């Protein structure tokens, strides 16, 4: 059993504003497609070989896509967190996005719709 508590996206965002670090445990292709700005990427498949802690870290918040991977591996993640205070983001990046918090994919979508080729083409036929 793990000592990691599950927290809401709102609570996680508040902790991040105070210096907590988000750790994205999804695979590289998932992180590349969409991630939370500022989140460090440490794939769960390699977390035993690479530790996510850096100098000055005090609070870590682990997240995946929907919360399943982090909950199933909470014991491993607690071990990887060492002496840091650590949490799991309930609902993962999906819940973060539903809470209206920023992700890189959302920023890309906004950019594409504002000045993308489809937007410009649709203006030609108005």
Catalytic residue chosen out of the listed positions 61, 64, 78, 95: 64
Axis-axis angle for helices 104-115, 117-124 (nearest 10): 30
**Residue 84 annotated to the active site:** no
Residue 12 makes CB contacts below 8 A (sequence gap 6+) with 20, 22, 61, 63, 87, 89, 96
Q: Are 6 and 90 in contact (CB under 8 A)?
A: yes
Residues designated as active site: 64
């Amino acid at each position: 059993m793990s000592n990691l508590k599950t927290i809401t996206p709102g609570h996680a965002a508040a902790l991040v504003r105070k210096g907590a670090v988000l750790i994205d445990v999804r695979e590289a292709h998932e992180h590349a497609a969409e991630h939370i700005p500022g989140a460090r990427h440490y794939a769960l498949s390699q977390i035993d070989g690479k530790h996510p802690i850096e100098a000055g870290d005090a609070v870590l918040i682990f997240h995946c896509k929907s919360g399943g991977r982090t909950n199933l591996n909470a014991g491993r993640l607690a071990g990887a967190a060492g002496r840091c205070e650590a949490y799991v983001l309930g609902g993962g990046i999906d819940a973060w996005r539903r809470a209206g918090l920023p992700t890189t994919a959302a920023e890309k979508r906004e950019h594409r719709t504002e000045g993308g080729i489809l937007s410009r083409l649709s203006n030609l036929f108005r």
